[in-house]
Amino acid sequence: MNVLELVTEHCLQLEADGRSAPAIHQMKQHGKLFAQWLASVGASDTVADLTPPIVARFLASPMALKRHDGKPKLTSTMNALRTSMRCLLRFAHDSGFAPQNAARLVRRAPCATPPPRAMPPDDVEKLLATLAAAEGPIAAREHALFHLIAATGLRVGSVLALHVEHVDLRAGTIRIEKAKGGMRGRVYLNREIREILVRFIGDRKSGPLFANRAGRPLTNRHAQVKLAEWLARAGVEQKYSPHSLRHSFAMELLGRTGDLALVRDALLHRSFESTLRYARSDEQRLRAALGA
């Protein structure tokens, strides 16, 4: 078995484990990069031949450390690559495809968690007002999409995986089947987003909640591109990703309640450490508490 065949087998296992589409895509990209490096240095790509020194050489190579433009990758980006290698080669060993775990010595580098890049409330308001004023089915779809993220803090991947059947408008809840780390849960809808979804869903009973003209779910790339377009129309000059709306929701909820446990539950975080980053970023509250 070669490395690319191993990546295919591992991604199948990740899918069976309920891992998210972005996580599986990242594993594929990292696995392909490793295979490309092996070919570039003339090393064997047979999984059984891989050793800790080979993996170390890859992770220390310019191909791993630098972006396409030649600039160094962020520590967090490299840590993601290290984690992929650890998961991939542990799977190879556990599955009997390799006599040893060639990534058993790999460790993540110390890395401070960057502060959440939330969209300011004024910019969120401009975005949603622009979408609400636009006409046509495409605008209605994207208004519902971005307003739903802003109102619930869901990850864009989880939102795009939703089907109409997951939405209970009478109870004001959405059942989440695909969240990061295989998490499942339920989120609650305020009155405004419920009314938007009532109009958007109409008499549909099934199928993807957010679909393209062919009836297939929208992609993360579509959401990214369309958000940039709507932000420009709203007069917001700063660039943001759909995930910035999730951060905005979390920061607003924390500021309103001061309850980190509530924020953790709302965001469907598996680890409390993931939620703590929002508390660390609230400098204004710290200054107020200290009288600074």
For the chain, the structural domain boundaries read 3-94, 121-290
The gap between the terminal CA atoms of the chain, to the nearest Å, is: 62
* 22-33 mean pLDDT: 94
What CA–CA distance (Å, rounded) separates 127 from 232? 9
What is the rounded CA–CA span in Å between residue 186 and residue 173? 7
- Among candidate residues 156, 178, 181, 182, the one with its CA nearest the CA of residue 240: 156
Cα dist from 23 to 30, 56, 73, 201, 238, whole Å: 11, 23, 19, 29, 27
Whether pLDDT at 289 is above 80:
no
pLDDT for residue 16 is more than 80: yes
Give the CATH class of 121-290: mainly alpha
Judged by average pLDDT, the poorest of 27-36, 134-143, 255-264, 282-291 is: 282-291
Residue 182 DSSP symbol: G
Tokens of 261: 């446990």
What is the rounded average pLDDT for all residues in the chain? 90
Mean pLDDT of 116-138: 93
Q: Which residue has the higher pLDDT, 94 or 22?
A: 94
Given a cut of 90, whether residue 89 has pLDDT beyond it is yes
Instruction: Please report, rounded to a whole number, the percentage of residues in the chain having pLDDT higher than 90.
Output: 71
User: Does the structure show a pLDDT above 70 at 105?
Assistant: yes
Q: 28: pLDDT confidence band, cut at 50, 70 and 90?
A: very high
Residues 6+ apart with CB under 8 A from 139: 131
Global confidence as pTM: 0.64
The predicted pLDDT at position 7 comes to 97
pLDDT at 283: 58
Residue with tokens 């932000």: 231
Q: Cβ distance 197 to 183 under 8 Å?
A: no
pLDDT at 279 over 90: no
How much is the pLDDT for 292? 55
Q: What is the pLDDT of residue 275?
A: 77
pLDDT average, residue stretch 240-261: 90
pLDDT at 17: 87
Rounded to an integer, the average pLDDT of 32-47 is 96
